Copies of this chain bind each other. A is one copy, B any other.
Amino acid sequence: MQMSPTLISQPVFLNQGEVEQKRQEIKAYFNQTWENYESLFETLVSDDTFYLRPCSLRHPLIFYFGHTATFFTNKLVLAKLLPQRINPTIESMCAIGVDEMSWDDLNDAHYDWPSVAAVRAYRNEVKAAVNALIDQVVFSLPIDWQSPMWPIMMGIEHERIHLETSSVLIRQLPIDQVKPHPLFPICADQQTAAPSNRLLAVPAGEVKIAHQDPAPHYGWDNEYGQHQANVTAFQASEFLVSNAEFLAFVEAGGYHTPEFWNEEGDRWRQFSPVKHPSFWVRKTEGGQQAWYLRCMTEEIPMPWSWPAEVNHLEAAAFCRWKAAQTGQPIRLPSEDEYLRLRDFSQAQQHLAQANINLQQAASSCPVTRCKQGEFYDVIGNVWQWTETPIHPFEGFKVHPLYDDFTTPTFDNKHNIIKGGSWISTGNEINGSSRYAFRRHFFQHAGFRYIASDAPVQKEFSTYETDSAVAQYCEFHFGDEYFGVANFAKAYADLAIGYAQTDADLAKREHLKVLEVGCSVGRASFELAKHFEQVVGLDFSARFINVANQLQTSGQLRYTLPIEGEIMDFKETTLAQLGLSEVASRCEFLQQDATNMKPIFSGYDMIVAMNLIDRLYEPKKFLTDVAARLNSGGLLMLGSPYTWLEEFTQKVHWLGGYKDAHSGENVTTLETLHALLSKDFEPVGAPQELQFVIRETARKYQHTVSQVTLWKKKA
């Protein structure tokens, strides 16, 4: 059986060609995508099937049938390319709920699904509107993120994703609800014997990505940015793990042996009713147990040479079993290791022979069929799980028309799959794409194992969404507003300037500085440019965690309110800040400024900015601070003196009141002099330092901190 040429698509180049020719090319690509998607639903036996749920936590297929059209109208209205919605009723039902939902979101009483005919009519309306739009839209080449053609490409590629994910849902329907379809023929080679797998060497090498807009093809936000890694040498399995190879794990009791599962996997293992790959079907035939495989529209005797399809948890358990069996460090590859294997095997030069793009079959095929370099199926057949949770590359930005395509999955719970499957098309196989699913999820996905002693990073910095912490992340590491210089850097520079011009400190070596109230740590990092040892303390573990995470990972990501609950996604790195070299001089610890441990002593300088008016007993901090400084040490204080009972009982305010005895106004500056004069000499006049804290894109706190410098008496 041959695949229909109508299903096979050609990648659309967005950075070359002529406008009118590109218009026709995109139009054809759109219509092919649209029609292929509709054809897929012809595998359902009746309209009633559209209303079955393939999975108890997913919408029925009617939702997905309407959804790809609704996505077009939503994005085109948002982009102001369509003046208004096309069918608000259907669109209100078919927009939200692509992924697993909670049971109460799916209460049928909430949904009065439209008829298949109605959705078909609606799809026709949207199709016509998009065709008209493609005919008329004014655009130029290259087509980049700002191009009006971008949201059209976005809609097309979105539908291509759903072509694949709907095929998985159809595969999860009862077998009597689906029927074979001439456009989607199963691979005929079902009885080839499975090979015995072996590990082949992949030499060390560099992996490098620098993906920028405009790019040759359409891409999702997570593909853009910079990435570089030096991958150590490892061995990779020649073939994807076949059903036969996986059977050994099943028969060895792998699903019943908790030791092969990590904690998350073991929870899933206990929850899961079946103790074998999800698409495997066990039948009793003439008193004999036999394994069958559920394909998209058919159930066939187990094709042992085809790739085993499992979720990440099952694949990882197999690897632990295999490692135990062999004594080798068997595991799944990381994203980088997969990319290194792909480069080394030159798999991308063999795309035309790979089982992808619906060009070979509408199913898997034997793992021995598609050779790419020394390996098989580096690209195609089924997706391959990696150990790497999806995370943004440096320079990541959301596209304003789709800010939640990837960001909700930056949670260390969605692992990257690579290589594509037989039904992966378009962006899915263009070489740049990065898709990720929850580790318990099923796709047309299997795995290849590797042997390597190299550690794998399984935790990436996530977006700090605690609004108070995120606000301070932007305050310390983000943009400047109203022309006011970054405050933390400014006061660190001021402190360094003081230390450099103090005749006494200028002579000392191995200077130690303590920052009390360091918040998320920017100034402490900056102080490390001059001081050999920097200790940053903050009362809030949430803030200290950010500083520690930035120090450890070199990266920081946080969300920032634009308007109401609409968020921007921001990131920074120590490298961008020019702090990579000195960050290791810092240590960040949680500590109460009014009750610090004696160990925090022996500093040449102590910096406490915007601290005293947030302490519950500021006097205690100030009377205690001299003992923590070396003789002749410097104390730098800064505060806007914003006394609030919320933080400091009035009886503990240092200023901003009339004295109960004298009746005179007491300012904080006066009290500072009164409290510190025993141990310190004031140095110079107070300085004024502005700072701006962003609350939303339009609302800011703009404050003036008063900075005073004090030299400890000898």
| Chain A residues within CB distance 8 Å of chain B | 70, 74-75, 77-78, 91-92, 95-96, 403-404, 482, 562-566, 640-643, 653, 655-658, 660-665, 667-668, 692, 695-696, 698-706
Contacts and interface: CB of A to CB of B under 8 A. Distances in A.
Given A698-B706, A701-B701, A661 B564 contact: no
Nearest to A565: B657
Contacts of A70: 662
A661 B95 CA distance: 6
Contact of A564 (B78, B657, B692, B699): B657
A197 B668 CA distance: 59
Contact of A641 (B563, B657, B660, B705): B563
B563 A667 contact: yes
A676 to B, nearest CB: 15
A77 B663 CA distance: 13
B665 A403 contact: yes
Contact of A702 (B75, B563, B700): B700
A662 B74 contact: yes
A663 B566 contact: no
A551 to B, nearest CB: 31
Contacts of A655: 563-564, 566
Given A96-B663, A701-B700, A668 B706 contact: no
A655 B668 CA distance: 42
Nearest to A74: B662
A28 B643 CA distance: 44
Contact of A642 (B75, B565, B699): B699
Nearest to A645: B564
A564 B702 contact: no
Contacts of A91: 661-662
Contacts of A663: 74, 95-96, 404
Contact of A661 (B96, B695, B696, B703): B96
Nearest to A665: B566
Nearest to A97: B663
A77 B92 CA distance: 72
Which of A696, A698, A701 is most buried by chain B, counting CB atoms within 10 A of its CB? A698
Contacts of A482: 482, 702
Contacts of A662: 70, 74, 77, 91-92, 95-96
Contacts of A566: 655-658, 665, 667
Nearest to A88: B661
Nearest to A701: B701
Contacts of A77: 662, 664
A563 B668 contact: yes
Nearest to A481: B702
A705 B699 CA distance: 9
Given A95-B661, A96-B663, A564 B698 contact: no
A566 B666 CA distance: 8
A653 B564 contact: yes
Contacts of A706: 698
Contacts of A704: 698-699
Contacts of A564: 641, 643, 653, 655-657, 668
12 contacts: A74-B664, A92-B661, A95-B661, A563-B641, A563-B643, A563-B668, A564-B641, A565-B658, A640-B698, A642-B698, A642-B699, A702-B702
